[in-house]
Amino acid sequence: MGIDNTDRTLASNRLVFEVRRDMAAYRRFRENFELVMGEYGLTEEEKEAWRTLDLKKLGDLGVHPYFLPQISRLFHGGGYNHNRSEACKAYAASVLAGPAGDQ
Protein backbone atom coordinates (compact mmCIF):
# COMPACT_ATOMS: atom_id res chain seq x y z
CA MET A 1 0.00 0.00 0.00
CA GLY A 2 1.61 3.20 -1.15
CA ILE A 3 1.82 5.79 -3.87
CA ASP A 4 3.80 3.40 -6.07
CA ASN A 5 0.95 0.87 -5.89
CA THR A 6 -1.77 3.32 -6.90
CA ASP A 7 -3.92 2.02 -9.74
CA ARG A 8 -5.10 5.11 -11.58
CA THR A 9 -7.67 3.02 -13.46
CA LEU A 10 -9.26 1.59 -10.30
CA ALA A 11 -12.94 2.53 -10.09
CA SER A 12 -12.68 3.22 -6.35
CA ASN A 13 -10.23 6.05 -6.99
CA ARG A 14 -12.66 7.79 -9.33
CA LEU A 15 -15.57 7.17 -6.93
CA VAL A 16 -13.91 8.73 -3.90
CA PHE A 17 -12.49 11.62 -5.93
CA GLU A 18 -15.89 12.54 -7.37
CA VAL A 19 -18.12 11.79 -4.37
CA ARG A 20 -16.08 13.86 -1.94
CA ARG A 21 -16.15 16.89 -4.26
CA ASP A 22 -19.80 16.83 -5.38
CA MET A 23 -22.51 17.28 -2.75
CA ALA A 24 -25.21 15.70 -4.93
CA ALA A 25 -22.99 12.65 -5.54
CA TYR A 26 -22.22 12.49 -1.81
CA ARG A 27 -25.94 12.52 -0.96
CA ARG A 28 -26.56 9.70 -3.43
CA PHE A 29 -23.65 7.77 -1.92
CA ARG A 30 -25.05 8.23 1.61
CA GLU A 31 -28.55 7.20 0.53
CA ASN A 32 -27.55 4.07 -1.42
CA PHE A 33 -23.87 3.39 -1.68
CA GLU A 34 -24.53 -0.09 -3.12
CA LEU A 35 -26.16 1.52 -6.14
CA VAL A 36 -23.36 4.07 -6.48
CA MET A 37 -20.69 1.36 -6.29
CA GLY A 38 -22.46 -0.43 -9.12
CA GLU A 39 -22.69 2.74 -11.20
CA TYR A 40 -18.95 3.27 -10.85
CA GLY A 41 -18.24 -0.32 -11.84
CA LEU A 42 -16.42 -1.46 -8.72
CA THR A 43 -15.29 -5.08 -8.69
CA GLU A 44 -16.77 -7.45 -6.11
CA GLU A 45 -13.47 -7.29 -4.22
CA GLU A 46 -13.63 -3.49 -4.09
CA LYS A 47 -17.30 -3.55 -3.04
CA GLU A 48 -16.59 -5.92 -0.16
CA ALA A 49 -13.71 -3.74 1.04
CA TRP A 50 -16.02 -0.67 0.94
CA ARG A 51 -18.79 -2.55 2.77
CA THR A 52 -16.45 -3.55 5.59
CA LEU A 53 -14.49 -0.29 5.45
CA ASP A 54 -11.32 -2.30 4.93
CA LEU A 55 -9.02 0.55 4.02
CA LYS A 56 -5.92 -1.62 4.08
CA LYS A 57 -7.49 -3.88 1.45
CA LEU A 58 -8.49 -0.85 -0.65
CA GLY A 59 -4.92 0.37 -0.43
CA ASP A 60 -3.65 -3.04 -1.47
CA LEU A 61 -6.05 -2.97 -4.43
CA GLY A 62 -4.58 0.34 -5.58
CA VAL A 63 -6.57 3.15 -3.95
CA HIS A 64 -4.38 6.25 -3.66
CA PRO A 65 -3.09 6.61 -0.06
CA TYR A 66 -4.48 10.16 0.17
CA PHE A 67 -7.98 8.79 -0.48
CA LEU A 68 -7.94 6.20 2.31
CA PRO A 69 -8.71 8.62 5.17
CA GLN A 70 -11.13 10.40 2.83
CA ILE A 71 -13.10 7.16 2.55
CA SER A 72 -13.46 6.93 6.33
CA ARG A 73 -14.72 10.53 6.31
CA LEU A 74 -17.39 9.65 3.73
CA PHE A 75 -18.85 7.22 6.27
CA HIS A 76 -18.09 9.00 9.54
CA GLY A 77 -18.08 12.66 8.60
CA GLY A 78 -15.22 15.07 8.40
CA GLY A 79 -16.51 18.25 9.95
CA TYR A 80 -14.43 17.98 13.12
CA ASN A 81 -11.34 15.92 12.41
CA HIS A 82 -9.01 15.14 15.26
CA ASN A 83 -7.24 12.05 16.56
CA ARG A 84 -10.35 10.88 18.44
CA SER A 85 -12.88 11.51 15.67
CA GLU A 86 -14.88 8.54 14.41
CA ALA A 87 -13.31 8.94 10.96
CA CYS A 88 -9.80 8.88 12.41
CA LYS A 89 -10.55 5.88 14.63
CA ALA A 90 -12.03 3.97 11.67
CA TYR A 91 -8.97 4.77 9.56
CA ALA A 92 -6.53 3.70 12.27
CA ALA A 93 -8.45 0.54 13.10
CA SER A 94 -8.59 -0.57 9.49
CA VAL A 95 -5.10 0.33 8.39
CA LEU A 96 -3.38 -0.84 11.58
CA ALA A 97 -5.64 -3.69 12.68
CA GLY A 98 -7.75 -4.78 9.70
CA PRO A 99 -11.36 -3.91 8.76
CA ALA A 100 -13.29 -1.57 11.03
CA GLY A 101 -14.63 -3.49 13.98
CA ASP A 102 -11.99 -6.26 13.97
CA GLN A 103 -10.37 -5.01 17.14
Query: What is the crossing angle of helices 23-31 and 33-40, to 10°?
Result: 120
Which sequence spans correspond to the domains of the chain? 3-97
Q: Please count the other Cβ atoms lying within 10 Å of the Cβ belonging to residue 31.
A: 9
Question: What is the structure's pLDDT at 90?
Answer: 67
Do 56 and 72 touch, CB atoms closer than 8 A? no
**pLDDT per position as a tens digit, 54-68:** 999 999 999 998 898
Question: What is the structure's pLDDT at 78?
Answer: 64
Question: What is the structure's pLDDT at 44?
Answer: 98
**pLDDT per position as a tens digit, 77-88:** 765 555 566 756
Mean pLDDT of 92-103: 57
pTM of the shown model: 0.76
Distance CA 61, CA 51 (A): 15
Do 57 and 72 touch, CB atoms closer than 8 A? no
- Label residue 25 by pLDDT band (50, 70, 90): very high
